[in-house]
Amino acid sequence: MVDLTDADGDTSSTEGKWGYDYWLRANLTDYQVTPDHPDYEHQDVSVSGRYTVTDPRTGETTVPDGQVNISTGNTGEYQKVPLDADGRFSLTYRQTYEYGGTVSPWLYLAQPEPMYQGSVSDNLRVTPVQSDTRVTLDTAELDVKAGQAATVSGTAEVYVGGAWKPLAGATVDEIWSDEFGGVASRPVTDADGRFTGQLTLPKSGSVEVQVRSGTYLQTSPLQKVKVYVAQKTSLTDFTATLNKYSELTAKGRLHTGSSEPGDADNKVELQYSADGKAGWKTMKTVVPGNSDPESGTPFKGTFDAPYKGYYRAHFKGSRNWQESYSAVVYAKRTPTRITGGNASPEPVHKGRTLTYKGKLQYYSSGAWKAYGGQKVKILFRPKGSSSWYDMGNATTRSDGTFSKGSTASKDGTWVAVLLYPNSTHLVSSGREDYVDVI
């Protein structure tokens, strides 16, 4: 039933066939959302307003008994907020959703009654502002060994209030990749904007570093750290052999894993030390041949060497290859010498006998000693010739002395040599003696 009163004050009642409904009307005033563009330094958003309710039966406007449900700009999240005695409500929330959204209040009465226009008719939008960021790396290059983690660190900053300031609590992406995969570290900056990440790279390459974008942050310009990963190497099968002429031949194999060093790095130093502990000296540098780097590329070198000493191979390595040494080996031969070498008589008559004499010795325990029972060859070079001729052998006596007679035929030079020593001694030669034949 509906009571109607006209302008003269007469009242009549009318009853509808199906009855009549009426709704309370919600009134929202002083509604505001600040700031509507939150930024890195102002991430908290305040929502406030006042609700009253008008009863169409009486025209009376009162403060409702109820609460307000506020949909924030964080992907439609709802929060329940009470009304105070004057119908006012307020809420402060932190805007975290990157793309923002609308903020809408809805009034809910404690005693539900039909209500018209229970929410604000015009939603207010919140849109976060992203600030520029940047990264300053501690170093642009790093050197690590294979299997060792590379420490990539630096400082992140954000541009706010007209200045660059430390960026705290941000994620920094540190990524290395190639066509076969990749590794990554994602450190979070501390209060001073500092970050430190660790990555174990399978090979040399560049780690790309940048601040990850977020609600209030733009992705920073890309920075790169060049990481040189030194692969493990080894030197095996190393031998050193000294021949009778005091020439040493050293050889072995260089192992560098799955790949071979470039020309600038692919070198092996052959080194000598008198005691095998200190004073190592590079005697020769050689280039290993082509082969499978895993099974080892062969190398070999020959050089004049002392009669005894210690030897090793050294791979210097580089940023891409670790340094390595071979086992130390010892090589020795016993020195010999011919003293008192003399051809007589001088001069000698043609057709007469000329005798070359001398003494063969070997060096042992710091002293020269007689070397008996050895064959010494007598050589002759005619005047004006560059060729030597074999004049026969002389066998040394127990005291090391020897002598050999030959028929004098022409002017020339005579000499005695130990040309074919055993496997443990060195060659030697006596004094060259020129004799005139008359």
The domain limits of the chain are: 18-126, 133-227, 234-332, 336-435
Question: What is the CATH topology of the domain spanning 133-227?
Answer: Immunoglobulin-like (2.60.40)
User: Which phi and psi angles does 385 have, rounded to 5°?
Assistant: -105, 155
Q: Which residues pair with 407 in a beta bridge?
A: 353
In eight-state DSSP terms, residue 395 is E
Contact of 415 with 433, CB cutoff 8 Å: yes
Q: Do the two domains 18-126 and 133-227 of this chain adopt the same fold?
A: yes
What distance in Å separates the CA atoms of residue 36 and residue 217, rounded to the nearest whole number?
Answer: 17
Q: Please tell me the class of the 336-435 domain.
A: mainly beta
CB atoms within 10 A of CB 357: 17
**Residue type at position 277:** K
Question: What is the CATH topology of the domain spanning 18-126?
Answer: Immunoglobulin-like (2.60.40)
Read off the pLDDT of residues 95-119 as tens digits, 9 standing for 90 and up.
999 999 999 999 988 887 666 555 5
Contact of 261 with 299, CB cutoff 8 Å: no
What distance in Å separates the CA atoms of residue 162 and residue 412, rounded to the nearest whole number?
Answer: 100
Closest CA to 379 of 412, 353, 409, 402: 412
Read off the pLDDT of residues 230-269 as tens digits, 9 standing for 90 and up.
999 999 999 999 999 999 999 999 999 888 999 999 999 9
Q: Please tell me the class of the 234-332 domain.
A: mainly beta
Identify the pLDDT of residue 75.
Answer: 86
Furthest C-alpha separation in the chain: 179
The series of mean pLDDT values per 10 residues for the chain, 438 residues long, is 66 62 85 96 96 90 93 91 97 95 91 61 88 98 97 98 96 95 97 98 96 97 97 97 97 93 95 97 95 89 97 96 98 97 95 97 97 98 96 97 96 97 97 96
